[in-house]
Amino acid sequence: TEACLTAIDGADALNAFVHHTPDMARDMAAAADARIKAGDATAMTGIPLGIKDVFCVRGVPSQAASRILQGFRPEYESTVTRNLWNAGAVMLGKLNQDEFAMGSANESSCYGPAVNPWKVDDRHLTPGGSSGGSAAAVAADLCLAATGTDTGGSIRQPAAFTGIVGLKPTYGRVSRWGVIAYASSLDQAGPMTKTVRDAAIMLGAMASVDPQDSTSADHPVPDYEAALTGDIRGKRIGVPREYRVDGMPADIDALWRKGADMLRDAGAEIVDISLPHTKYALPAYYVIAPAEASSNLARYDGVRYGRRARLGQGDGITEMYEKTRAEGFGPEVQRRVMIGTYVLSAGFYDAYYNRARKVRALIKRDFDKAFADGIDAILAPTTPSAAFPLGSLDQSDPVQAYLNDVFTVTLNLAGLPGIAVPVGQDAQGLPLGLQLVGRPFEEGDLLNHALVLE
C-alpha cells in the first residue's frame, strides 16, 4: 500500500487517480495486517486497489467523472466495493473514466483525459475508455488491480490499449447496486488486472448473489482460481468469420492467427463459425445504450444529487432543470440523452428502439447457436487498432469513436462473459489484445482458456 501511494504521488501526469484516499488506505492496510496475523485472510486481504469513479464508496466523492455530480458523497457503499472490503482489499482512491462511462478514449471526463503509460515518440496516447484511469493505473503499477465497468467494451478495450487483462462477467454475475447507471441492461462490473490468475481471484471477491439488484443472478459464486488448470485439450474454439472486417490492420489479423495457433498448440480445435447478425450490433447498441441512458440520467435534475446551477431572478423549476443539465453534462452525454429521447419518443419507438431490441435477440441467438453446436469459447480481436493519440478523434464525427466498439458490443447485447488478454504488440511496440467469449456463467472455463493466451 505504501509503495502504491508513493507511485500515485509521482504519477500526476497520467491523471489516472481523480481522488486519493491515503488515510483510508493506511487504516485498511493496518486492519488487513491484523487480519493476516489472526490467520483470517483471503487472497484479497491487503491488496491495494483503485476504484473506478462510477462505483459509490461511502463518504468518498463518486462522480462518474461528471460535473453534475460535483459534491456528491454517497451515504452508501456499492455491493462490489463492499464485497472487496469484506475480503480485506485496500482502497487507494477513485479512478478517472469517461463521463458516465460514455466514450472510448477517456476524453469525456470532467477531470480531463487519463494518459496511457505507453508512448510512441513522446506522443500522449489514450488509455482507452471508458475505464481509462483503471487501465492506466494498473499498467503503470499505481495499484495491484482495479475495478472497471463494461457496457459496450469499457473494460476490455482499455485493457487491450494498455497491455493488461480485463474481464467482463456474464450479465447478472456481479451486482450493479451502487454503480452509477449508464445502460442498465448492458452494464456489468469486472476486474482489471495484470494477470489472468489475478482476474480469477478478484472476480471471486467482486461477484455475489445480491437481493438489492433485481438482475443479479441466483448462481453461487464458484472458486474461479480452482478452474485454472491450463488444460484445454479437446476444447472447440470458434473463430467468427464476420469479425474479419474490411480494412482490418495486418497486425491485428496476424495477432488473431497467433492466438489461434497458441490455443491449437495447447490441444484445442479451431473451428470456423458464423455469427451472421454481427454487422447490426453497433447500430443496435447505439440505439439501446442511449435510450437507457436518457432514462437513467433523468434523475440528475439539480434537486437530488450533486450540483445545481446558479439561478437568475425569476427562474423557476424548468430553468433550474435546464441550466443544471446544460452546464452539468458534457457534450457527449448531452448527445446520448438526445439520441435516447428521440429513439424512445412515440413516433419513432417502433422504428428504432423496438427494431434494435429485435436485432439484439438475433445477435444473442447467433451466440446461443454456436454454443449449442459445441463451441466452448470464441476467439476475436478486442479492438480494431492499438491505442491512438489523445485528441485524434474528430469531435465533429462521433461515429468515428463508436466504430472502436465493433468487436466488444456484441457480448454486452448477448449478456455473455468476455476477457481481453494482452497477446502481442504492433509494429510500433504498442500492446495488442485478443478477446475470448465464453458461455454464460462459465467464467472459470473462460479464464482457463485465457491462461493459454497469456
Q: How far is the CB of 68 from ligand GLN (least distance, A)?
A: 17
Residues 167-186 that bind ligand GLN (CB under 6 A): 182
User: Contact region for ligand GLN (CB under 6 A) — 95-103, 199-207, 230-238, 364-372?
Assistant: 95-103
Q: Within 13 Å of residue 132, how many CA atoms lie on the same side as its CB?
A: 37
Contact region with ligand GLN (CB under 6 A), list: 29-37, 70-78, 150-158, 169-177: 150-158
Left (φ > 0), alpha (ψ -120 to 50) or beta: where does 222 sit?
beta
Q: Which of these ranges, 37-45, 67-75, 146-154, 368-376, lies near ligand GLN under the rule CB under 6 A?
A: 146-154
Using CB under 6 A, pick the residue from 150, 376, 443, 445 that binds ligand GLN. 150
Q: How far is the CB of 148 from ligand GLN (least distance, A)?
A: 9
CB of 157 to ligand GLN, least distance (A): 7
Taking residues 368 to 407 in sequence order and writing x for each that binds ligand GLN by CB under 6 A, - otherwise, the string is -------------------------------------x--
**Number of residues lying near ligand GLN (CB under 6 A):** 13
Residue 78 binds ligand GLN, judged by CB under 6 A? no
Q: Rounded distance, CA 237 to CA 377, Å?
A: 5
Rounded Cα distance, 197 and 207, in Å: 16
Alpha-carbon distance of 333 to 194, in angstroms, equals 31
Q: Where are the alpha helices (DSSP H) in 10-163?
A: 22-37, 79-86, 132-139, 156-162
Among residue numbers 272 through 301, which ones bind ligand GLN (CB under 6 A)?
289
- DSSP reduced 3-state for 306: coil
In the complex, least distance from residue 142 CB atom to ligand GLN, rounded to whole angstroms: 21
Interface with ligand GLN, residue 330, by CB under 6 A: no
Whole-angstrom CA distances from 82 to 178, 205, 210, 308, 349 are: 10, 10, 12, 29, 39
Beta bridge partners of 269: 236
Q: Before 109, cis peptide (omega within 30)?
A: no
Strand partners, 165: 193
**Closest CB to ligand GLN among 38 and 399?**
399
Which stretch, 148-156, 192-200, 218-226, 385-393, contacts ligand GLN (CB under 6 A)? 148-156
Question: Which window, 136-144, 151-159, 200-208, 384-392, contacts ligand GLN (CB under 6 A)?
Answer: 151-159
Q: Does an H or E element contain 6, and which?
A: helix 2-9
What are the residue numbers of the active site?
52, 130, 154
Tell me the window of 17-25, 31-39, 100-108, 424-432 that interacts with ligand GLN (CB under 6 A): 100-108
Tell the smallest beta-carbon distance from residue 57 to ligand GLN (Å): 19
Whichever of 168 and 235 has its CB closer to ligand GLN, that residue is: 168
Three-state DSSP class for residue 127? coil
Member of 151, 170, 294, 383 binding ligand GLN (CB under 6 A): 151
Q: Which is nearer to ligand GLN, 14 or 287 (CB)?
A: 287
Minimum distance between the CB of residue 236 and ligand GLN, rounded to whole angstroms?
A: 28
Toward ligand GLN, which CB reaches closer, 103 or 417? 103
Residue number, 101 or 432, with CB nearest to ligand GLN: 101
> Are the CB atoms for 52 and 138 separated by under 8 Å?
no
CA distances from 101 to 10, 154, 254, 289 (A): 26, 7, 31, 11
Binding mask 103-132 for ligand GLN (x = CB under 6 A): xx-------------------------x--
* DSSP strand pairing (189-193 vs 269-273): unpaired
Residues 262 and 239 sit within 8 Å (Cβ to Cβ): no
Burial of 7 (0-12, 13-18, 19+ CB in 10 A): middle
Min. distance of Cβ 150 from ligand GLN in angstroms? 5
Using Cβ positions, the residue closest to ligand GLN within the complex turns out to be 154
User: Helix, strand or coil for residue 446?
Assistant: helix
By CB under 6 A, name the one of 32, 91, 101, 196 that touches ligand GLN: 101
Nearest 5°: the CA angle 251, 256, 258 is 95
- Phi and psi at 225, nearest 5°, equal -65, -35
What is the contact surface with ligand GLN in residues (CB under 6 A)? 101-104, 130, 150-154, 182, 289, 405
